Amino acid sequence: MSEMKIVNATGLACPHPVVLAKEAIEKNEKVKVIVDNETALENVTRMGTKMGCDVSKEARAGGVFEITLTRKPGATMPDVPVSCVASSPSAGPFVVVCSEDKMGRGNDELGAVLIRAFLHTLAEQAEKPDVMIFYNTGVKLTVQGAETLDDLKTLAAAGVEILVCGTCLNYFEVKDKLGVGVVSNMYDIVETLSRAGRLLSP
């Protein structure tokens, strides 16, 4: 058993824990890094993996994590730049929220044009959202006769999940005119917003 170097990085914010962990693993076969926040946990883990180490993690009481980095036999130490990402972009779905039938505030006629242009362009993007949520006047974009319906259908056909607020459809008395997506509720909406990796609102 080789000796393990212990790096206490509690109380430190990124990029500090990553810098300390990197210095330690460059000089030692095995390093235990103690951090007390998720961002540090993710970034130290990512650095360790990139450096070609075996990485194991253990959660301790009080939001503390112990990350053990072990150099693989014969592994070269690539010079990995210290990176500090708030959270992994793949952590949750890419969600687009349309809370209005317009884009931006100030002029409604212009806002209506902009939201059409936005959805048209979104439908042409290679990277499409995982989920789109429509509430308040945003639901008017999803009903029959809406100028935006074709683009939303294109997005739905490409696998984008479209959630439309049922309370809102009801309020505007257009529930029977829904042209795309599924009637959803506040439970699904809150759950989806909460686990979103990226949230975009036009």
Binding site for other proteins (CB under 8 A): 109-110, 113, 116-117, 120-121, 147, 150
Q: Do residues 83 and 44 touch, judged by C-beta distance below 8 A?
A: no
Residue with Cβ nearer other proteins (23 or 147) = 147
Residue 137 contacts residue 97 (beta carbons within 8 Å): no
Taking the complex as a whole, the smallest distance from the CB of residue 170 to other proteins amounts, in Å, to 28
Contact 51, 80 (CB under 8 A): yes
Question: From the CB of 120, what's the least distance to other proteins, in Å?
Answer: 5
Q: Which is nearer to other proteins, 109 or 173 (CB)?
A: 109
Cβ nearer to other proteins, comparing 20 with 152: 152
Smaller CB separation from other proteins, 26 or 124 = 124
CA dihedral over 90, 85, 189, 157, signed as positive or negative: negative
Q: Shortest gap between Cβ of 121 and other proteins (angstroms)?
A: 6
Positive or negative, the CA dihedral 178, 156, 168, 149 is: negative
Q: Say how many C-beta atoms besides its own lie within 10 A of residue 53's C-beta.
A: 23
Q: Please state the closest distance from residue 113 (CB atom) to other proteins, in A.
A: 6
Spatial contact of 189 and 165, defined as CB atoms under 8 Å apart: yes
Which residue, 119 or 164, is less far from other proteins as judged by CB? Answer: 119
Residues 6+ apart with CB under 8 A from 107: none
- Rounded least distance, CB 96 to other proteins, Å: 17
